[in-house]
Amino acid sequence: MEKLVVHGGNPLNGTIEVSGAKNAAVAIIPAAIMASSGVSNIDNIPDIEDVRCLERILESLGCKIKRCNNSAVIDSTCMTSVDACTDDVRKMRASYYLIGAMLGRFKEAKVELPGGCSIGVRPIDQHIKGFEALGAEVKIEHGAVCVKAEKLVGANIFFDVVSVGATINVMLAAALAEGTTILENVAREPHVVDVANFLNTMGANIKGAGTDVIRITGVKELHGCDYSVIPDQIEAGTFMIAAAACGGRVKIDNIIPKHLESITAKLIEMGAEVIEDEDSITVVSKGRLKAVNVKTLPYPGFPTDVQQPMSALLCIAEGRSIINESIWECRYKHVDELKKMGADIKVEGRSAIIDGVSKLTGAVVKATDLRAGAAMVIAGLIAEGVSEIHNLDHIDRGYPKIEEKFRVLGAHIDRVEE
């Protein structure tokens, strides 16, 4: 078991490169199995455990994968199985994209129900509603989702909630359905657009991704292609917040500034300086920042996945901040950990009321989930003295080499064996 040891209290200075987007990569890799000819050469894949987990799952289905640095060549022409029921499938959330991908290509799939961060109830009723509307029979048996269809036929589907997962999953299946599918009330996250672009490069016909209506004209088959995953909006946001929290001047490079507008706006409201360039953002922070209120919303609103890192910054802002978490019902498990470091936070239902304190102090804490882990790293960097962060498996699922990237910025942070 490993832990991070952080000596806090130093400003951050320098430039970091953001990796490829986790939540795009974990959909694009399953989508690659929809190619019935050719291989897919996917670049800018983040080096994280969720990606390694998916690659193992694809190999268990008979795909061949060659990994080289940030690229992977995926050959799915030799797939032998549509039965994905392994420990790896249960470990992660995004394994549910195998349902849409295999249903599209093979018209059947059996996929164990997914795991992932424990941040509240995570139903998949909207995914199922979409598959059924396309003509599939869906059953949950022995903890697995079993889907089967004679054929898939395009349909008009209006989602009851805005769901990233359901939008992508149904888009995958519909790409190989007969006729036209219209998806309404869809998620507009950058990774939804990235998956649509990937599918189009494979030969699909998808229009409207990034708006709230997606129109898919089904094609008979998809082929392998070359593709590069977009930069990670959430990793970039995490580093922007860390820079604002620790003070200093940090350039966050290899990003799409438009994807970060809601975070940029909040940091400016708090008093930080944020300089946008074509593919970078520089955050300059001097002195104590002001408290702000934050409400998480689907894109282009403030991302729920940045709420926990943001809460670490708000712990030391001047005044009272109120966070309203509108996406997940239980995304405050990190609050008890922040309190060990001297934070003053009360959680009432979906809200967290944070009264800023002048400093945090180092403590032994744990990552309760992925983004909670990032929040604890930021808190450790702010805090006076030494912090230890345990349960790194959560952080490693989604942040590539987090301690190395922070060290580039002058942070004193080491990964050591417990």
Residues that bind ligand EPZ (CB under 6 A): 22-23, 26, 93-94, 117, 121-127, 161, 163-166, 187, 304-305, 327-328, 370-371, 398
Number of residues assigned to the chain: 418
Residues sharing a CB contact under 8 Å with residue 365, sequence separation 6 or more, in sequence order: 337, 338, 340, 341, 376, 379, 380, 387, 388, 389, 390
* Distance of closest approach, residue 243 Cβ to ligand EPZ, in angstroms: 20
Q: Compare residues 104 and 116 and give the one whose CB is closer to ligand EPZ.
A: 116
| Prior bond of 300 cis (ω within 30°) | yes
Q: Is 239 helix (H, G, I), strand (E, B) or coil?
A: helix
Both structure tokens of 54: 């998916």
* Distance of closest approach, residue 370 Cβ to ligand EPZ, in angstroms: 5
* Distance of closest approach, residue 327 Cβ to ligand EPZ, in angstroms: 5
Q: What angle do CA 357, 303, 386 make, to 5 degrees?
A: 35
Q: Compare residues 94 and 402 and give the one whose CB is closer to ligand EPZ.
A: 94
Q: Compare residues 95 and 321 and give the one whose CB is closer to ligand EPZ.
A: 95
Among candidate residues 396, 372, 27, the one with its CA nearest the CA of residue 230 = 27
CA distance 289 to 244: 8
* Distance of closest approach, residue 100 Cβ to ligand EPZ, in angstroms: 12
Q: What is the CA radius of gyration of the chain?
A: 21
Q: Compare residues 249 and 405 and give the one whose CB is closer to ligand EPZ.
A: 405
Side by side, the strands of the sheet bearing 144-148 are: 83-84, 108-112, 144-148, 137-141
* Distance of closest approach, residue 69 Cβ to ligand EPZ, in angstroms: 23
Residue 357: CB atoms within 10 A of its CB come to 16
Enzyme catalytic residues = 117
Chain residue at closest Cβ approach to ligand EPZ: 165
Q: Compare residues 248 and 398 and give the one whose CB is closer to ligand EPZ.
A: 398
